[in-house]
Amino acid sequence: MNFIRTDIPDVVIIEPKVHGDERGYFVETFRADKLQEFLGYTINFCQDNESKSSRGVLRGLHYQLHPAAQTKLVRVIQGRVLDVAVDIRKDSPTFGQHVAVELSSENKKQLLVPRGFAHGFVVLEDDTVFAYKVDNYYSPENDRGIAFDDKELKIDWQVPHAELNLSAKDKIQPKLHDTNDLFEYGVNYYND
């Protein structure tokens, strides 16, 4: 596995090694030992999730507050998405900045989105299957979001606004600077 730090170093692209021949391919999609060796700490994933969506579906930008904050390890099994992680740690040198990575069944890339980041993705192909691990269970009382179209975030979703398909909840999320439900930079949210 190849681990690549992005412009926001806490967000990591993971490129698994694909072994293929005329019969198909084999790939290790997760190795706890390799991830721990790279990060220097352990992430205890406890749940796997999967969604299937058509082109233009946008899910996000979502996060959960501490003590239910989540790290996500995301990938695409079928199709393509533009995956986005936004730094929502107050006083972080990269506060409000984002990383956007195309994840697809072809490139097999994954994105590690740590606690302290809002996450979202837009589907670029019909019948896209998106899968992710989380290290904390869903907590409705800690569930939060940021407006996907907050102009200060400067996210190019690569799909025209008129073609986007959002949930009712995601249509009314607050702008980043209109919420007080953020994380503190420098706090270790992994020591529960």
Contact 148, 171 (CB under 8 A): no
Give the torsion sign (CA, 35, 37, 40, 43).
Answer: positive
CA pair distance 144, 149, nearest whole angstrom: 16
Bond from prior residue into 61 cis (ω within 30 degrees of 0)? yes
CA pair distance 191, 95, nearest whole angstrom: 22
Please return the burial class of 23, using the count of CB atoms within 10 Å of its CB with bins 0-12, 13-18 and 19+: exposed
The first and second tokens of residue 66, run together, are 């501490």
Q: Which amino acid is at 90?
A: K
Supply the residues annotated as catalytic: 62, 132
Bond from prior residue into 67 cis (ω within 30 degrees of 0)? yes
